[in-house]
Every structure is written in structure tokens, then in C-alpha cells.
Amino acid sequence: MLGGGPPVHLMWSSMFNPDSPQPKRKVDLRRIGRFFAPYWREETLILICIVAVSVLGLLPPLFTKWLIDDAIPQHSMKLVFIYVGAMIASAILAGVIGVVQGYLNSYVGEGIMRDIRTSLVSHLHRMPISFFTNTKTGEIMNRVSNDVDNIDNIVTGTLVTIVTNIVMIVTTVVTIFVLDWRLAIISVAVIPLMIFPLSPVGRRMYGVRKRTREKRDEIESITQETLSISGITLIKSFVREQFERSRFFQVANDLMRLEIDLAMIGRWFIMLIGAMVVIGPAFVWMGGSWLAIGGTLTVGTIVAFVAYLSRLYGPASALAGVQVQVVSAAAVFERIFDYLDMPTEEAACDGSQMLENVRGEIVFENVSFSYGERQALRDVSFRIAPGQTAALVGPSGAGKTTITQLVPRFYIPQSGRVEIDGHDICDLDLASLRNAIGIVTQETYLFHDTIAANLRYGRMDASDDDLVSAAKAANIHDFIAGLPEGYQTVVGERGHKLSGGERQRLALARVLLKDPRILILDEATSSLDSHNEAMIQSALERVMENRTSLVIAHRLSTIISADVIFVVEGGRIVESGTHALLLARGGAYARLYLEQFRDEVLTAP
Ligand SMILES: Nc1ncnc2c1ncn2[C@@H]1O[C@H](COP(=O)(O)OP(=O)(O)O)[C@@H](O)[C@H]1O
Ligand SMILES: [Mg+2]
């Protein structure tokens, strides 16, 4: 066994000691069952189809027996025609029912997949942002697409196989006992050897299957990262194609070995079972011949029996194989349940109060916050009155962005309170809180869709006129109107067919359509050149009027016009006040002012 995972000796020891403690909890079958429940009508129909096909399959050997024992000895062509005709008719009927069952199988399988996929995705939508900063996108993608695809195999393949085979075995056993109980006992005696408990194989398969899934996560992550527009640009500019190739090869190679292991596990057992399929009939021929020579059995019965054996041993060996599949399929369900069990962001602080008639007062009270171990904010307190503009300034890494992210509850502080209009935001309904807040950051995200569709993300029912006036306010309308396809232009992957400044102005227009009471701008105009920024500045001022704005600014003009400036350093607010007041004090702000804005000050008219 190559590659990662538990040491080989551990796996083998657990093979030989089935009672050793299982590292994994049992899969919750009831929980899996809940996904099947809505399809009970189709499932009942499938069951009926299976039974019907199975019973129809019992008929041909019987007709064969009667053909040999009655029709031929009686020299009756009429009977021959009847039996042969019935043989053909039952086969055709079974085929037709099989087609119907195939449709139902797909319907149930695909339906359950749709349901699981949707609940998985909608659960992911409600996961906190920290989950997404800590998890590779590729891993998430893999679970939503590949893992769920695997469930389809379990549902339409494995489950139906199990039921079909059980029904086949039961009906066949009943039939052969009715035909001749002595021969039936010989036939059945061989079966236990076949469904010999395969649990050690299943357990090993479970482990390998699980590691295979993890490798696939890795592959998906690498693909995701290297084939994204930013990733590919990075690779090309550092000429790392060769390096990326070998990195990919290594993971792909690990996956190859795991898949081979997976294919080989249990092959020996399956081979043994295969041999039984030949050995079984041999015993039946022997016992049958002995009885026939004794005159207590007809040749037709022996022939029918041997035909039935394939309906007995085939299903039995299939069932043995399926048991292995079911155990390892648990690994897949487990990965999906892992995700579904992760707490959503509502769970962290479950407020239900609706935020209505927002005035827009923002208060931080002794807020401390860490990203895991890393403390980002220490005892931050401030108040922004409704309608005011507050500027956050300070060196990079000081905690400015972190402060803004606590307002829409993207993160929850470990201690202290964040309040809007006097409500602790933890008590507020999350959607009503976020509806009141508009955010534009430096990293604007656009969907690979038209400009109009991207803008409408801000307000779904916005009319074309609304779009135009928002675009005008953000000083992007003229640019859009100048494009050959205007508002129907597709912006490209992540908006990369636009310049940074154009993207940012689109993002501004989008948030203007949302028309929030509280506006957060995190270096939102940083990609704009000074010409553009000057043009947008007046628009912004109009926009910020009557709204509470929290602005992380990098331009002096924005800072100077703010009602209050908070200077952030090392996760604390070290100074606050107006530009003139802080400058006169000659403290941190004055230093920052000289360092950061000297050029701007000197070149200012
Ligand atoms: N998701 C995160 N996980 C861990 N640490 C983070 C995360 N985001 C930011 N930080 C850290 O928190 C500190 C404050 O970051 P930030 O608020 O983005 O600073 P600013 O916006 O003032 O430049 C930095 O030291 C940064 O490295
Ligand atoms: Mg920042």
C-alpha cells in the first residue's frame, strides 16, 4: 500500500480482528432513509416491478421442464407451441417492465441527488465566512459534485441490486422447494459459502475509499487553484508549468494507486464465489442423476433446477459483492453528513429580531476579536451617529477591515458588543441586518454574466432606468454605453474582461441599487485613477449623504471630509476626532498623515 493513510500493519490487524474498536461511528441509516422517504410512491412501484420481473423470470425453466417431461414424450406440437410461445411472451413482458423500472430508478436516484445537492449547497451558503477561508474551494466543489454523484451509484445501482437479488433468491428458493425438496436442499446448502461474511474486506475497502475521496479533494483543489484566472497568470509569470505538472502528477499518481487498491480488494473473495457458481451445479447434477436413476426424479426437473441455480448463485454472489460496496459507500455519505452537520452562522448567535426603520447608528463596545489564535482587535469601542461618515485610517494589518467585517456579522467577536440602533447585532435577524448594509471592497467580485445581471444582484426588481441612474451615479454609464453590447456585455470570469477601476465602479453602482442605510467602503476607490476618483468622489458624497458610512480611505480628501476619524493601530483605536483636531494634537494621526499623504499634500493645489 503506497501513499498516505494508516500504516499497513494497522489495516491488516483490523482485518483479522473484527471486534477491534471502529475508528468511525456508524452511519446513520435513518438519516439516509429520510432522503428516500419523499419518493415512496416510486419506490413502491419499483418494488412491484422487481417482483413482477422476478416471477416472470421463474417461468421459462418451468416451461422447459414441461416441454421435456410432457410435450416431447406426448409428441404434441400444440403443447410445444404453447410452451415456447409462453416462454417468449414472458421474456418480452419482463423486458417491458424492466424499461419502466429503469425510468423509475433514474427518477428516484436523480431526484435524491438533486435533493442532497440542493440541501448541501444551501447549507454551505449559510456557513460562516471563516469556513471558506479555512477550506479549499476544490474540496467543497468535490463534495458537492463528485460525492453526490457517487450517491447516485448507491441509490440506483446498489440498492436496487440488493432488492432485486433478494427477491430473486426468495422466489427461486420457494419454487425449487415446491419442485423437489431434496434437490433444493443440495442447491441451497452451497449458498452460505458464498455470502460468507465479507466484512473484513468491506472495512478495508471503506478505508481505501475514504482516502480516495480525500485525494480527489486534493486534485480538485489543485485544478481549481491553478486553472483559475489568477492562478494561471501566476504560473505563467513565474514559469512554474513544470513544477505544477509534477505536483499534479504526484497527486494523480497517489490516486491511481488508491484506485488500483480499491479495484483489487476483495478480488480473491469474488473469485472464490465465482468458482462456487460452477461447483454448485456440479453437485446438483450429481444428486439429481442419482435420484433420476432411482426413478424418483424426471430429467426435465434436473434441467429446470440447473436453470434455476443461475437465479440463485448469481444473485447470491452479487449480494456478497454489494455488501462490500455498501460498507464503503458509507464513507461517501459520511463526507456529506460531515458538511451538513457543520453549524451554520445562524447557529453561532441566533437572533430573530427584525431590524426595521434603520437609523444607522453603529456602536462598538469593548470589542475584542481573534481569527483563531491571532488576535486582530483589542478592546475596540466607538460610536458613529446616524448619517455620519467615519473614516478608519492606520497602517496595513492594523485591523481596519476586521472592524468593518464585524458590522454585517461576517465574524462574531469573542467579547464585547456590536450594536446597530441600540440592538446587539447578535439579537438581530441576519438577513434584516445585512439588508441594511452595503459593502464595497477592494476585491470586487462579479459573476460571469452580463453587466445588467451583475447590477441587478443589488436589487432584483430594478428597472432598466434604475440601472442607468445607478451607473451614472457611479460614473460608469458612459463606459457601458460605449460598449458594443452595452448593458448586455458579458464581464468574463470574475469580471476579468474589465479593468480594476471599471469593476470597482460597477460594484459601487450595484451597491447603490441596493440602497442600504449603512455603507461600508473598504478602500473601494483604490483602483481608480485620480481623474476617475475625482469624478466619483462627488457622486460618493451624494451617496453617503443620509447614510451612515464607514470608510477605509486611502485618499486624503475622503478622510478630511469625514465627520470623525478613527486611527487604528495594532488592533486598537488609538485616536479619534476630526482631521483638524487630530492634526493639531500631533500624535499618531499626524505621523501617519506625514508618512502617507505627504506626496498628496505637496502636490495638492
Ligand atoms: N481570515 C483571517 N485569518 C487570520 N488572520 C487574519 C484574517 N484576516 C486578517 N487577518 C489578520 O488580522 C490582522 C488585521 O487584518 P485587517 O483587518 O485585514 O487589517 P487592515 O485592513 O487594517 O489592513 C492582520 O494581522 C491580518 O493578518
Ligand atoms: Mg484592509
Look up the CATH superfamily of 362-603: P-loop containing nucleotide triphosphate hydrolases (3.40.50.300)
When pLDDT is averaged across residues 297-321 and rounded to a whole number, the result is 83
Residue located nearest, by CA, to atom 9 of ligand 1: 402
Grid cell of 417 as nine digits: 458588543
**How is 107-147 classified by DSSP, letter by letter?**
HHHHHHHHHHHHHHHHHHHTS-HHHHHHS-HHHHHHIIIII
Ligand nearest to the CA of 523: 2
Greatest mean pLDDT among 322-336, 405-419, 484-498 lies in: 405-419
CATH classification (class only), 8-15+26-346: mainly alpha
Residue located nearest, by CA, to atom 26 of ligand 1: 397
Judged by DSSP in three states, 73 sits in: coil
pLDDT in tens, 312-354: 887 877 777 676 667 667 777 888 888 899 988 888 887 889 9
CA of 325 to the centre of ligand 1 (A): 46
Higher pLDDT, 219 or 8: 219
pLDDT score at 420 = 96
How would residue 13 be classed by pLDDT, with cut points 50, 70 and 90?
A: very low
CA of 392 to the centre of ligand 1 (A): 15
Residue located nearest, by CA, to atom 2 of ligand 1: 371
Judged by DSSP in three states, 151 sits in: helix
CA of 121 to the centre of ligand 2 (A): 29
Ligand nearest to the CA of 526: 2
CA of 444 to the centre of ligand 1 (A): 18
Ligand nearest to the CA of 371: 1
Residue identified by cell 443440495 is: 186
Residue located nearest, by CA, to atom 27 of ligand 1: 397
For a mutational test of ligand 1's pocket, the pick from 370, 373, 374, 380, i.e. the residue with the most ligand atoms closer than 8 A to its C-beta, is 374
pLDDT score at 284 = 84
Residue located nearest, by CA, to atom 17 of ligand 1: 399
Check pLDDT > 80 for residue 275. no
CA of 451 to the centre of ligand 1 (A): 31
Q: Are 376 and 399 in contact (CB under 8 A)?
A: yes
User: Chain centroid to CA 563: how far?
Assistant: 45
For a mutational test of ligand 1's pocket, the pick from 371, 520, 522, 572, i.e. the residue with the most ligand atoms closer than 8 A to its C-beta, is 371
CA of 430 to the centre of ligand 1 (A): 23
When pLDDT is averaged across residues 599-605 and rounded to a whole number, the result is 55
pLDDT score at 5 = 34
Check pLDDT > 70 for residue 20. no
The Cα 520–Cα 547 span in angstroms is 10
For a mutational test of ligand 1's pocket, the pick from 364, 396, 402, 414, i.e. the residue with the most ligand atoms closer than 8 A to its C-beta, is 402
How would residue 195 be classed by pLDDT, with cut points 50, 70 and 90?
A: low
Grid cell of 284 as nine digits: 446438483
How many percent of the chain have pLDDT more than 70? 87
Q: What residue ranges line ligand 1, CB within 6 angstroms?
A: 133, 371, 374, 376, 394, 396-402
**How is 1-63 classified by DSSP, letter by letter?**
--SSSS-HHHHHHHHH-TTSPPSSPPP-HHHHHHHHGGGHHHHHHHHHHHHHHHHHHHHHHHH
What b/e readout covers 208-238, taking b as 16+ CB neighbours within 10 angstroms?
bbbbbbbbbbbbbbbbbbbeeeeeeeebeee
Checking 463-470 for CB contacts under 8 A at 24+ apart, the result is 466/513, 467/509, 467/513, 470/509, 470/510, 470/512, 470/513
Residue 392 Cα: closest atom of ligand 1: 22
CA of 568 to the centre of ligand 2 (A): 11
Distances (CA, A) of 580 to 389, 560, 603: 16, 8, 19
pLDDT in tens, 237-269: 989 999 999 999 999 999 999 999 888 876 766
Residue 129 Cα: closest atom of ligand 1: 1
Q: What is the mean pLDDT of the chain?
A: 84
The domain segmentation of the chain, as residue ranges, is 8-15+26-346, 362-603
Grid cell of 572 as nine digits: 486598537
Higher pLDDT, 545 or 589: 589
pLDDT score at 8 = 29
CA of 394 to the centre of ligand 2 (A): 10
CA of 419 to the centre of ligand 1 (A): 22
pLDDT in tens, 542-561: 678 789 999 998 777 788 88
How would residue 17 be classed by pLDDT, with cut points 50, 70 and 90?
A: very low
Q: Are 395 and 572 in contact (CB under 8 A)?
A: no
pLDDT score at 413 = 94
Q: Are 309 and 280 in contact (CB under 8 A)?
A: yes
How many percent of the chain have pLDDT more than 90? 43
pLDDT score at 287 = 87
Residue 394 Cα: closest atom of ligand 1: 22
Residue 399 Cα: closest atom of ligand 1: 17
The Cα 557–Cα 562 span in angstroms is 9
CA of 506 to the centre of ligand 1 (A): 26
* Same fold? 8-15+26-346, 362-603: no
Residue located nearest, by CA, to atom 21 of ligand 1: 401
CA of 398 to the centre of ligand 2 (A): 8
When pLDDT is averaged across residues 190-203 and rounded to a whole number, the result is 64
Residue 396 Cα: closest atom of ligand 1: 23
When pLDDT is averaged across residues 504-509 and rounded to a whole number, the result is 88
Grid cell of 241 as nine digits: 508549468
Ligand nearest to the CA of 441: 2
Residue located nearest, by CA, to atom 25 of ligand 1: 397
**How is 324-379 classified by DSSP, letter by letter?**
HHHHHHHHHHHHHHHHHHSPPHHHHS---B---S----EEEEEEEEEETTEEEEEE
Structural Rg of the chain based on CA atoms: 35
How would residue 385 be classed by pLDDT, with cut points 50, 70 and 90?
A: very high
pTM (two decimals) = 0.77
How would residue 6 be classed by pLDDT, with cut points 50, 70 and 90?
A: very low
pLDDT in tens, 59-105: 998 999 999 999 899 998 999 999 999 999 999 999 999 999 999 98
Residue 130 Cα: closest atom of ligand 1: 1
Check pLDDT > 70 for residue 308. yes
pLDDT score at 309 = 85
Residue located nearest, by CA, to atom 16 of ligand 1: 399
Judged by DSSP in three states, 421 sits in: coil
Ligand nearest to the CA of 570: 1
The Cα 480–Cα 502 span in angstroms is 9
CA of 237 to the centre of ligand 1 (A): 27
pLDDT score at 22 = 40
Higher pLDDT, 191 or 335: 335
Nearest to 503 by CA among 527, 481, 534, 538: 527
pLDDT in tens, 132-151: 988 888 888 888 888 888 77
Name the strand (E) or helix (H) holding 532: helix 530-544
pLDDT in tens, 451-489: 999 999 999 999 999 999 999 988 889 999 999 999 999
When pLDDT is averaged across residues 39-55 and rounded to a whole number, the result is 93
